[in-house]
Chains A and B, each alone.
Chain A
Amino acid sequence: MAAVASEVELVNISINGVALQVPKGELIVESVKRLGLEIPIFCYHPRMKPVGMCRMCLVEVGFPGPDGNIRKMPKPQAGCTLPASEGMAIFTDTEQIHRDRKGVLEFLLVNHPLDCPICDRGGECPLQNNTLFYGPSTSRFLELKRHLPKAFPLSKYVTLDLERCIQCGRCVRFTEEISGDSQLAFRFRGASMQPSTFELTDFESKFSGNVIEICPVGALTNREYRFRARPWDLETKPAICTVCSNGCNIWFDHRAGRMVRTNGRTNEAINEEWTCDRGKFGHEFYNDSNRVKHVMVRNGDALVESDWPTAYDAIRMAFAEGGNRVAALTGPSNSNEDLYLLKKLFQTRFNSNNFDSRWTTYLPTAEDDLQKKMGVSMVQNTIADFESMSKVFIFGSSLADELPILFLRVRKGWFNNGNKVVVASDKPTDADSFAAEVLRYRTGTESTLASGLLALAVEKGLAQVPDATRQSLSKYTAEHVSDETGVSVDALHRAVELVAGAGIITSHGIFNTSQPQDTVETLAGLAMTTNGSFNCYALGANDQGALDMGVVPFGGGMDTHSILQGCIDGTVKALWLVGCDPFELHPDYDLVEKALENVHFLVVMADHQNGAVPFASVLLPETAPAEQDGTFTNMERRVQRMPQVLAAKGSAKPAWRVFSELAIRIQPETPPFGPADCMKEIAESIPSYAVADYANLGGEGVLIR
C-alpha cells in the first residue's frame, strides 16, 4: 500500500478547519478518519461501493471563493459518495449538520419497532448507537409504525425481520459485489421497498452469514444464535477458524463454557472481515453431547472409564516393540505443537517413522517432492496476492467449496481490477460465473489437459522448454487433447494466452484424480516456464502444518495406505489415531474397517465420538482446537496462534501434552512447559519456523517461506 500511495496525487482539503492532504478522490467518509473523527453511517461499508442511500453521513462542503473565503454549497452532501478534491472544505460538526442527521435518524426510528430489549443486535447496534449520539430523545410518529413479518426465515442460518430493516442495501450489495451469488435483491419501491431473496427462493449462499454481521440493525439475525444470549452477556476472544485451511480470523463468543457464535474478525491478509458459512456455522460441535471427556480402556466388549496413568501404561506396553510394528495417523485440525511432538515421540521413543497426515488416494513419495525435483515450491502465493494478479488459473478445484476465502479474493480481483480468471474443472463451479474461460474436461483427463496447455504454450512461444521436454510434449497436439478431454480446440487456444504467466491454483484434492503427480508437475512446469506461479494448496485446517512438521513417512516409514494394509496383514500391531476418523477421511471404507478390526491395539484420541471409537483399545479425550493453545499453518503457510478460549472438557488434554507425558515415562527429559516452548523446539529442528516464535504471533500472523 505504501508504495502505491506515493504515486497517488494528493490534494489539500480541510476538515473542520484543520488542513490536511489526502489522495485525490478519496471518499470524505474515509478522510475524516485521518483526523480521528467519525461520520455516522448506515449504508456505507468500506469494502463495498458507496451508494449514498441512508443520508446519515451528511457533511457541509465549501470551496474558497475568489476572495479566499469559504463558500458553502447550499445543501449538505453525503460524505460517503463525496470524493476529495483540491481546496475542499468539509464541516462535520455544524448546527445544520446536527439538525439534518437528527432528521434522518428520526425517519428511521419512525419505522423501527424499537424492540431493542429483545433484539439480538441490542448492545452492538449502529442504529442504537447513532441514536444515542445524534438522535432525537424520543421517537414521535408513533401511529406510523409498520407491521410487517417478523422472523421470516431466509435460509437455514439467516432470519429477516422486516420491521427492523432500514433499507440500507448492505445485504443486497454484499451478495452482488462480494459473494457474487446475487441471492438478495430489493423488491418494490418507495416505502414498500424490502430486501428479499431472489425470486423468493431460499437464500442459498456459501457466505450468507456475513450479511448478519454487516446489517446495521438487527434485521438479519443468526437463526442458531437468536435469543441465545445478549451481546453484553458474552465473553469474546480472538481466535481462528479451524474448519478449513484458509485460517480465517474470528471472534469466538462464549458464555458459561459454551460456544455461542463466531463472527468475522479483520485480518487484511486473509479473510479481510468475511467468513464462509461452513466456518461461521461450523463450530457447533463444541457444545455437542457426544464430546469425548474421559479416558476409557477396553475391558472385554466394553470401554470402561479409566485414568491417564492406566492408559499410558497400556500404550507403553503395546507400542514397546516400535519400528514398523507401530504407526500413527493424524487428522486435519491438530496444532503444529501436537504434530511435532507426535513425530518426536515416534522417532525418539518408538524408533519409528510410521506416521502420516495425508488421506488422498495418491500419496506423493519423498522422491515426488517438487522442491527437490524441480526446485519449485508447492505454495508460492499468498491469498492477498490474487487481488492484484492479472491472470489466475484455477485447476481442478471448486474453489468456493474448498477454499472459500481464497475464492472471495480471486473474485474481488476480478470485480475490482478486472483480473482474468480461467477455470478448468470437470464439474460446474461457482467461479465459472466470472471466468474469462471455462475448460470443462472429462473426469480423469486432468494430466492430458495440463500437458496440452503446456504444449500449446510452447508451440506459441509463450513457454521456453528444453528440447527433451519439447519432444515429450509432441504427442499433445491441440486436436488430440481436445479429443481426449472434450475441451474444444478454440477454447484451448484462447485459454493458453491467459494461463501462460498466470498464478495457478490447485489443491491437494488433485491427488484424488488419476495421474496427479504428472498433472502437478506439468502445471508447476507451465508456471515456471511462463513466468507464472504455482500453488497446490492444502485443505484441512492444519494440513500444511503437518507437512511442515514432517508428519509424512519420508524417513523410511509407511504411508497411510500401507499402514492400514499393515494393520490387516499383521505387520502393524499398534495404531494411534490422532484426532482423525479414518472412515470419514479415507477413500476406501472397507479397507479401514478391516484394518481397525484386525489391528491388535488401537489408540483413538479424539475430541468427539467417531466411527473408530468402537474399535478402540484405549480412548483418549483430546481437547478441541479452541480448548488449547497452539499454532496452525494455513494454506498460504501463514502461522497463526489459536489461543485457548474454552476450558478442557472432563479430563481431556492437549495432544502435545499427552505425547510429552508419555515420552517422559519412556525416557525422562525436561518436558516443554507449554506450547510456546514446543514452538521453540520446533524452530530448532525446522529453522523456517524460527519466525513463528510466540512473541511474534500477533497481528496478521507470520508467513513461512
Chain B
Amino acid sequence: MRPEFTGPEVDSFYHLRDVEMTHRKCRGLSCFAAQGFDPATWSDALSQWPPVYCLGKCYISPATTENLEEPHVEIRCKDPIILHGVEDTTMLSIGGYLDGAGYLGLRRALNHDPEYVIAEVERSRLRGRGGAGFPAGKKWRAVYNTPGHEKFIVANADEGDHGSYIDRLLMERTPHRLLEAMAIAGYGVGAAKGVIYLRKEYPVAETRLRQAIEEAVECGWLGNGIGGTDFNFEVEIVIGQGSYVCGEETSLLNSIEHQRPVVRARPPFPTAQGLFGKPTLVNNVETLCSVPWILLYGGDSYAARGFSNSRGTKAVSLNSMFNNPGLYEVDFGVSLRAILEDIGGGLKNGDFKAVIVGGPLAGFVHPSEFDTLFGFEEMHAIGASIGHGGIVAFDQGTDFVQLLAHVFDFGAIESCGKCTPCRLGTRRAQALFSKASGKALDAQERQELRETLDALSFTSLCGHGSGLAVLANSVFSKFPEEVKSCLA
C-alpha cells in the first residue's frame, strides 16, 4: 500500500550504483591483513573512491578486479555435501549437474507432500550459514505455517563478510544446486517465486546463474508444471548496487522492493511479512545449497554428520596469509587448529597473531584458543563465531589500533544510518582509533571510546552496529597489550 520510491533519493544510498566493476582494488579485512604482500595495490585501494569491500578473492589478497586467478578447492571431510562439483567446472551446465545426481532432491520432494519437505529439513538440524546460525527447519516451518497464497523464496547472495568467497564459488561452479534448492524451498513452503539477491562484485556468478536459469527452464526444472506436477516456480536475479548492510535480510528485502534499503524493525519477521509484505523465506546461499543433498539422502543422514548442535559440513575459505589459501569443506567438530594448521598449513610469514572467522562483525580468536572445536556454540563461547565461514589470518606485524580504525571506517561508510548509535558512533569510534594510532588517547577520550562501544553494542538496531562493538571488545579483552593507547 505504500507508494514505491525509486529515483535519485533511493539511488543515492548505494555507492556502486554508477561504478563499473573494473580496475577496483579491494579494501576488505583480508586485504588489510595481507597489505604487506603488495603495498602499492593496498595504498591504491585506500585512495580509491568509492571503495569496494571484499571482492571475494581473499586467497590472493590484496585483490583486484583484474586478477582472475581461481582458488584452490578441496574436500577435507569424508563425503562432500556442499562442495561436491565445486572443485572443477564439470557441473557448470545442466548436463554435468544431472550426471552428478542433480535435481534428484527436487524430484524426491515432488514425490512427497510439502509437509515431508519441511520435516526433512527439520530433521537435518541444518542451521543458517549467513551468520546467525538460525535453525533452517524452524524458519521453513514458520513460512509454511503462515497462510497466504503468495509467498517468496529469497536467496541471500550478498556475501559481504570479508574473507568469505564460499557463496561466490557455489554460484559460479554449481549454479543449478542453488536453483534446485530454491525450487525445493518453494515447493515446501508454498512459494512460486524466488529471488536471488546477488552482489554487484560477483559478475561471473551473475552470468553463470542466468545461463543456468535458462537451461533449467528449458529442461523443465523451473517454470510451470515442474517434473510433470502442477508445481510452478520461477527465479529472478536482483543485482545489488553496493551496500554491505543490504546483506541484512530486512534491508535486502527493502532493496528488492526499491525502498530505501534500511533495516526494518522486527517484529514482524520476514517469515510473516517479508517481501512486499508477504511471507518470505530468506536463506543464505550455502544454507540453501545443503538442501538438495538433504532431500536426496534424508535429513537423518545429514544430522548424522557433524557434532554437538552443529550438523552437516561447513565450507571454510582461507585467505592469502595461509600457506594453502583456498576453499575447503570440513566436518563440524574438528578443531580450529586442524583447519588453520593442517589444512591451511600455517602462515606464510611466521606465527599467527590472531584470526577472525566469519567477517568483521565477530570477535577475534587468540592463538591460545585454537584448540576450540569448530561449532556454533563452541565458537560463541570464546566470543567468536562461525559466521559465513571465511577465515582471515593476521600475522605478527598487524597493528591492532590501525586495524580497528580501518574496520570502523568500513563500519561508518557502510552504516545504513537508520539508528543513532551506529550512524554516529561508528564514525566517532573510527576517529578515536585513528587518533590513538598516532598518540595515546587521554583519559577522557578513553572513557568516550568505552561509552561509544557500549552504546553501539547495546542500542544498535541491527548486527552491524553491535557486531562492530563485539570485534573491538574482543581486541580489548584478548589483546590488551596491543591497544594500550586507547584502553580505558
Which of A's residues lie within 8 Å of B, judged by CB? 50-56, 58, 75-76, 78, 81, 83, 96, 99-100, 103-104, 106-108, 110-111, 140-141, 144, 166-167, 176, 180, 182, 185-193, 196, 198-199, 415, 418, 433
Q: Looking across the interface, which residue of chain A has its beta carbon closest to that of B425? A: A107
Whether A55 and B420, one on each chain, are in contact in the complex, defined by CB atoms closer than 8 angstroms, is: yes
Which among B420, B425, B458 is the interface contact of A53 at CB below 8 angstroms? B420
Which among B3, B266, B420, B451 is the interface contact of A54 at CB below 8 angstroms? B420
* 4 tightest A-B CB contacts, nearest first: A103-B455, A185-B9, A52-B265, A193-B417
Q: Which residues of A contact B415 (CB under 8 A)?
A: 189-191
B413 within 8 A of A: yes
Which among A55, A108, A144, A191 is the interface contact of B417 at CB below 8 angstroms? A191
Q: Which residues of A contact B466 (CB under 8 A)?
A: 75
29 contacts between A and B (CB under 8 A): A53-B418, A53-B420, A56-B420, A76-B459, A81-B265, A83-B267, A96-B458, A103-B452, A104-B455, A107-B420, A111-B424, A144-B428, A166-B420, A167-B423, A176-B2, A176-B3, A185-B5, A185-B10, A187-B9, A187-B12, A188-B417, A189-B13, A189-B416, A190-B414, A191-B412, A191-B417, A191-B427, A192-B417, A418-B1
Q: Looking across the interface, which residue of chain A has its beta carbon closest to that of B8? A: A199
Q: Looking across the interface, which residue of chain B has its beta carbon closest to that of A97? A: B458
Which among B243, B418, B455 is the interface contact of A100 at CB below 8 angstroms? B455
Q: What is the CA–CA distance of A143 and B266 in the complex, to the nearest angstrom?
A: 36
Whether A144 and B2, one on each chain, are in contact in the complex, defined by CB atoms closer than 8 angstroms, is: no
Whether A55 and B9, one on each chain, are in contact in the complex, defined by CB atoms closer than 8 angstroms, is: no
B444 within 8 A of A: yes
Q: State whether A78 and B265 are in contact (beta carbons under 8 Å apart), knowing that A103-B454, A190-B414 are contacts in the complex.
A: yes
Q: State whether A199 and B9 are in contact (beta carbons under 8 Å apart), knowing that A107-B424, A110-B424, A141-B448 are contacts in the complex.
A: yes
Q: Which residues of B contact A96 (CB under 8 A)?
A: 458
Please name 7 further chain A to chain B contacts, defined as beta carbons within 8 Å, in addition to the given A106-B455, A141-B448, A185-B5, sorted by A numbering. A51-B265, A78-B265, A103-B454, A104-B455, A108-B420, A144-B428, A167-B417
Q: Looking across the interface, which residue of chain A has its beta carbon closest to that of B13? A: A189
Q: Which residues of B contact A188 (CB under 8 A)?
A: 12-13, 417
Which of B's residues lie within 8 Å of A, judged by CB? 1-3, 5, 7-10, 12-13, 243, 260, 265-267, 412-421, 423-428, 431, 444, 448, 451-452, 454-455, 458-461, 466
Query: From residue B383, how far is it (CB to closest CB) to chain A in Å?
Result: 14
Whether B455 and A189, one on each chain, are in contact in the complex, defined by CB atoms closer than 8 angstroms, is: no
Q: Among B266, B426, B427, which residue has the most Cβ atoms of chain A within 10 A?
A: B427
Query: From residue A673, how far is it (CB to closest CB) to chain B in Å?
Result: 55
Q: Looking across the interface, which residue of chain B has its beta carbon closest to that of A50? A: B265
Q: What is the CA–CA distance of A166 and B424 in the complex, to the nearest angstrom?
A: 10
Query: From residue A583, how far is it (CB to closest CB) to chain B in Å?
Result: 41
Query: From residue A411, how far is it (CB to closest CB) to chain B in Å?
Result: 11
Whether A106 and B9, one on each chain, are in contact in the complex, defined by CB atoms closer than 8 angstroms, is: no
Query: From residue A94, how far is it (CB to closest CB) to chain B in Å?
Result: 12
Q: Among A96, A193, A198, A418, which residue has the most Cβ atoms of chain B within 10 A?
A: A193
Q: Which residues of B contact A196 (CB under 8 A)?
A: 9
Q: Looking across the interface, which residue of chain A has its beta carbon closest to that of B423? A: A191
Q: What is the CA–CA distance of A186 and B2 in the complex, to the nearest angstrom?
A: 16
Q: Which residues of A contact B460 (CB under 8 A)?
A: 55
Which among A75, A110, A198, A418 is the interface contact of B428 at CB below 8 angstroms? A110
Whether A182 and B419, one on each chain, are in contact in the complex, defined by CB atoms closer than 8 angstroms, is: no
Whether A140 and B459, one on each chain, are in contact in the complex, defined by CB atoms closer than 8 angstroms, is: no
Whether A106 and B459, one on each chain, are in contact in the complex, defined by CB atoms closer than 8 angstroms, is: no
Q: Which residues of B contact A100 (CB under 8 A)?
A: 454-455, 458-459
Q: Which residues of B contact A182 (CB under 8 A)?
A: 3, 5
Q: Looking across the interface, which residue of chain B has its beta carbon closest to that of A51? A: B265
Q: What is the CA–CA distance of A104 and B7 in the complex, to the nearest angstrom?
A: 31
Q: Looking across the interface, which residue of chain B has its beta carbon closest to that of A196? A: B9
Whether A140 and B448, one on each chain, are in contact in the complex, defined by CB atoms closer than 8 angstroms, is: yes
Q: What is the CA–CA distance of A106 and B454 in the complex, to the nearest angstrom?
A: 12
Q: What is the CA–CA distance of A144 and B434 in the complex, to the nearest angstrom?
A: 14
Q: Which residues of B contact A107 (CB under 8 A)?
A: 420-421, 423-425, 428, 455
Q: Looking across the interface, which residue of chain B has its beta carbon closest to that of A76? A: B458
Q: Looking across the interface, which residue of chain B has its beta carbon closest to that of A85? A: B267
Q: Looking across the interface, which residue of chain B has its beta carbon closest to that of A78? A: B265
Which among B3, B243, B260, B420 is the interface contact of A104 at CB below 8 angstroms? B420
Q: Which residues of A contact B421 (CB under 8 A)?
A: 55, 103-104, 107
Q: Which residues of B contact A167 (CB under 8 A)?
A: 417, 420, 423
Query: From residue A279, how far is it (CB to closest CB) to chain B in Å?
Result: 25
Q: Which residues of B contact A140 (CB under 8 A)?
A: 444, 448
Q: What is the CA–CA distance of A78 and B458 in the complex, to the nearest angstrom?
A: 11
Q: Which residues of B contact A83 (CB under 8 A)?
A: 267
Whether A144 and B431, one on each chain, are in contact in the complex, defined by CB atoms closer than 8 angstroms, is: yes
Q: Looking across the interface, which residue of chain B has its beta carbon closest to that of A80? A: B265
Q: Which residues of B contact A166 (CB under 8 A)?
A: 420
Q: State whether A103 and B267 are in contact (beta carbons under 8 Å apart), knowing that A187-B12, A196-B9 are contacts in the complex.
A: no
Q: What is the CA–CA distance of A83 and B272 in the complex, to the nearest angstrom?
A: 15
Q: Which residues of A contact B243 (CB under 8 A)?
A: 189
Q: What is the CA–CA distance of A187 and B11 in the complex, to the nearest angstrom?
A: 8
Q: Looking across the interface, which residue of chain B has its beta carbon closest to that of A192? A: B417
Q: Which residues of A contact B265 (CB under 8 A)?
A: 50-52, 78, 81
Q: Looking across the interface, which residue of chain A has its beta carbon closest to that of B263? A: A52
Q: Which residues of A contact B260 (CB under 8 A)?
A: 185-186
Q: What is the CA–CA distance of A107 and B420 in the complex, to the nearest angstrom?
A: 7
Which among B413, B414, B419 is the interface contact of A55 at CB below 8 angstroms? B419
Query: From residue B49, how far is it (CB to closest CB) to chain A in Å?
Result: 13
Q: Which residues of A contact B417 (CB under 8 A)?
A: 167, 186, 188-193
Q: Looking across the interface, which residue of chain A has its beta carbon closest to that of B454? A: A103
Which among B7, B420, B425 is the interface contact of A198 at CB below 8 angstroms? B7
Q: What is the CA–CA distance of A215 and B410 in the complex, to the nearest angstrom?
A: 31
Q: Looking across the interface, which residue of chain A has its beta carbon closest to that of B413? A: A190
Q: Among B424, B444, B455, B460, which residue has the most Cβ atoms of chain A within 10 A?
A: B424
Query: From residue A38, how far is it (CB to closest CB) to chain B in Å?
Result: 19
Q: Which residues of A contact B3 (CB under 8 A)?
A: 176, 180, 182, 433
Which among A58, A110, A186, A189 is the interface contact of B459 at CB below 8 angstroms? A58
Q: Which residues of B contact A198 (CB under 8 A)?
A: 7, 9
Q: Which residues of B contact A99 (CB under 8 A)?
A: 454
